[in-house]
Structure 1
């Protein structure tokens, strides 16, 4: 190994000779090992590596020449230089035998220290040089290993990278084409390396001219970026292009390194986002315009403020529930049967007295919103003035497709005698305005009004089997209203909504002990306030309210969520807690609170 020490071995059967040799040879960086016999020397050489051996010729049992011959016959010790030490006079015969045995030189006794040190120094320096060479060899091997590892890592990153990595000469001849480039452009490296970049149909003439201008620029360390249109195996691509112009300092040649990122999906996503934002703005403004129109028209026909509040709230609720239905189907198409079921669930239509029949129909979002308002007006008018105002009254709703139109017929019977109104209110005007561009026609028969509504577009028939939703029977209020006197916590970050909740609860006789508008405030109130019930917003400033719901659950305090989100966006694990959907009517709020208290606090009901 490069860090091993330089070792000399002294072999002599006389210990005093070994001590004398050691004293003459001692120097920094040199280890001296001594052996009193040939056998001991052989054992030492099996364990240690030696750079030089001084061997006494005259030794009992195995003399110096025999030891040298044994060393030359063994692979491990064959290359160890041997200097023989002898008291005999120099002779050609003796010298020949020593060199034949593998020796490289002689030292004659009495030993001249200068000659000894001079000869030893030669081998010491050779050993040092060998050691340095081995160290340099190992360093070069390590550098080569690190280089190969780095190159392999770079190749792996280049091949697995979403970037296309391309290198070209100054004339745009391709020298490197990564697997990422192959994936993006559908061209393998074997078809491009050594070929002009123009051979790839992926790059337009304008792009190639731009790249040539990059290479021809004056800045030797230029960095360039551009967005280009390119051709891929699946059609047109949008790409971000990053280019670096490099100059070889040894010969002055320039090259171009390109990194190309396929951003086609991002462009599509941005286009989709822009479209969705525009559509969202359009729908929001349409919704606000509808709300504004409903408010104005309701105000014109309302007899007093209370009448306006009830009518406006009902119409707004119908519109909001239609939005919820459309949100559940990502604003694609809603089922006619689901729209009817929503009105039955809300109490606008009496499921026991509404007799409906017709094929399974899906409606466009626009028709869904309009039909929801129309059904609300039809049901409200039937309850106030028509068939549903009498115990024996019924409504028959039939629909079918005739030609290119969907025709719905609303027929009332069993109510008071009907006469055509002299002045149509907003509700009747809204019904008569029709859906999908076609007007609705009323037949004011004495036995009951018949509305025929034609829809010319925005619908399609499906093969799904539709089922009528089961109408939930409202929970009757107990003799003593359980809402009065209850202490209620309101968790709501919207100030106007919180004010509306407080007003509705206090009008019903409840006490709002606190309005929590932030998550820390809500957690503190849920943990410390003495309350009978909590109304919990779905989130506070975008933060989930799971911890608040968990605290209320541990304290056995009933609560309901108040949210514009569907249940799938509310905290998990609380599926049994009801949801009061925004926007809500005051009556719906109080009925929800009453139902929760009646179910969860029966011991507090009146007698």
Structure 2
């Protein structure tokens, strides 16, 4: 910033002369400095800026003219105005000598105060104006520097922005093409600047016509949004366009600024979401149709409600467990080994009485669901009528590729003598329809039935087997003491499920003392404490139940999770707590409750 102080320098070897001059020059805003010799004056002028110097002509060693010549020879002092002060006669020769040395005027002794102050005022005013101009210059420089920094910052942000920025004139000629646009479209600034927007290849004709319409409207501060498809370095991209139209007040012509956001990932996600929603609706309807078919066919082949309940629950749970397996692999594919392990975990098959042989195979979701039901029916029939109905019986499950098909063989031996059934029930029909478009065949040998199931599509041989973790508690109920007097808290947000659980418990002699449907209600019920054990849904109206589980543990109340989720979605701090998977078999509920109450084993 320019120094605002104005300084005059008095150079004279007689101090009294300088004191008299200083008294005449004194005013606000002016500093008057004194030098007693030319050497001292030169030293002071090297350190301080002066706007005027009064120099006495007659000084020892270096006179005033010589001092002026020295001042004009130095860069720092060259432009300081000099007024000579002298008592000599004002001859033309002396005047010429002074002007030649660089002086601008003379003051003659004795000094006339009016002349002195008038001359000083001229230089004071000039110096004040120069100071003002210097200050204004510095202010303008500061403003220009701030402006340049702001513009540079805006350009840097525009170049680094996730939105591609493009500026065009009214004719859609590119005036600014930032790095952000170059990254998005793969077109360099040099290739786009000064060219029509259409020449960049980033905008199709429909989009260009739309943008031309924006600028043609010529509404100042107009804002527009649109969607377009374009191409970039990685291929096809989808973009949201945000346009701003400004009219130049001087030229009256509009300019268009475009901010373009790459929404390709969002667009693809929306497409996937739409497909998933459609697929989910399809699967739900198919599942409901399958459940309805299983229910109706089971009802037709059952002699009473008890038999219907047992068969229907078993088939429904086989279907539900297959859904859980597919959910764990995001409905991509499941291994045949997983299905067999699931039947073992469910108690339908016994690992000690089972032999299996075959390469690792993955199955499509459709084949997984179908084969889960088939294996359930085969296992159930073997346990009721076939090889697994006696202690020494065994089952062999083998599979191998034949041509383009996969053939699965179920062989029973060591059981009671086999005779073909007089009539074919729903279970046998379900097995016989096979998997996919092919049908299963059966050989009713006296030593044991042999089923051959041919799978003609929806499978893939894998390099390594995928073993599933055993399913949660799914077992036939074991005899135990009645649950009479056992008080139970049911925490479940689905009223129909809660009602079904209550009915199953009350049929076994237990008493449901309280039901809770929210986390708040459950915590209040736990605090009340008037129960022996609890059945806890793993999610209550979208809220996790970690606090409820912790409260039950703090009160030393045994409990079991009841959930449609897998173990991975349960509260992590309770791995030892048993779990029932929805839909829940009533027999499994009773088995687990007996175990928790210490009245039997699960």
Distance 2:531 2:19 in 1: 101
1:378 positional shift: 1.5
* Aligned-partner SS, 1:417: coil
Q: How many residues align?
A: 600
Matched with 1:390 is 390
1:8–1:51 contact (8 Å) kept in structure 2:
yes
Deviates more, 1:64-73 or 1:388-397: 64-73
Stretch of structure 1 that moved more, 524-533 or 388-397: 524-533
* Matching of residues 193-204 of structure 1 within 5 Å: 193-204=193-204
Report the alpha carbon displacement of residue 75 of structure 1 after superposing the two structures with TM: 5.0
Distance 1:478 1:331 in 2: 34
Q: 1:260 to 1:475 in 2, by over 3 A?
A: closer
Instruction: Give structure 1 stretches of 5+ with no counterpart.
Output: 599-603
How far off its partner does 1:410 sit? 2.0
Moved more, 143-152 or 240-249: 240-249
Gaps in structure 2 of 5+ consecutive residues: none
Offset of residue 329 of structure 1: 1.5
- RMSD, aligned CA: 4.0
The reply to whether residue 417 of structure 1 matches residue 411 of structure 2 is no
1:372 aligned to 2:366? no
Give the C-alpha shift of residue 326 in structure 1: 0.8
Give 1:181-192 correspondences, 5 Å limit: 181-192=181-192
**What's the counterpart of residue 105 of structure 1?**
105
Q: Given the superposition, is the C-alpha separation of residues 125 and 343 from structure 1 closer, same or farther in structure 2, using an over 3 Å criterion?
A: same
Distance 1:476-1:98 versus aligned 2 partners, 3 A rule: same
**Cα distance in structure 1, aligned partners of 2:311 and 2:110:** 132
**1:542 maps to what in 2?**
542
> Counterpart in 2 of 1:134?
134
Asked whether the equivalents of residues 345 and 474 of structure 2 are also in contact (C-alpha less than 8 Å), the reply is no
Tell me the CA shift for residue 166 of structure 1.
3.3
Q: How does 1:17-166 map to 2 (within 5 A)?
A: 21-28=21-28, 30-35=29-34, 37-38=36-37, 48-55=48-55, 75-86=75-86, 90-92=90-92, 95=95, 99=99, 102-166=102-166
Q: Deviations over 1:118-138 (max 9, x none)?
A: 222222222222222222222
CA shift in 2, pair 1:72/1:265, >3 Å? same
Over residues 193-232 of structure 1, what are the superposed CA-to-partner deviations in whole Å (9 max), with x where a residue is unaligned?
3333443444434444444444444646554443333344
TM-score, scaled to structure 1: 0.84
1:499-538 matches, within 5 Å, as: 499-504=499-504, 515-522=515-522, 529=529, 535-538=535-538
Q: What's the CA shift for 1:468?
A: 9.6
Q: Secondary structure at the match of 1:411?
A: strand
Distance in 2, matches of 1:209 and 1:605, equals 79
Corresponding residue for 1:601? none
| 1:431 equivalent in structure 2 | 431
Q: 1:3 to 1:510 in 2, by over 3 A?
A: farther
Q: CA deviation at 1:528?
A: 7.6
For 2:202 and 2:302, locate their aligned partners in 1 and report how far apart those are by CA, in whole Å.
Answer: 68
Q: CA offsets, 1:432-483, max 9 Å, x none?
A: 2322122223333443333332222222222324679889999999998698
Larger CA deviation: 270-279 vs 572-581: 572-581
What is the TM-score of this pair, normalised by structure 2?
A: 0.84
CA distance in structure 2 between the aligned counterparts of 1:87 and 1:510, rounded to whole angstroms: 132
Q: 2:332 matched to which residue of 1?
A: 332
Task: Give the direction of change, closer, same or farther, for the CA distance of 1:218–1:95 in structure 2 (3 Å limit).
Answer: closer
Aligned residue for 2:412, secondary structure, equals strand
After TM superposition, give the deviation of residue 331 of structure 1 in Å.
1.1
1:53/1:83 contact within 8 Å kept: yes
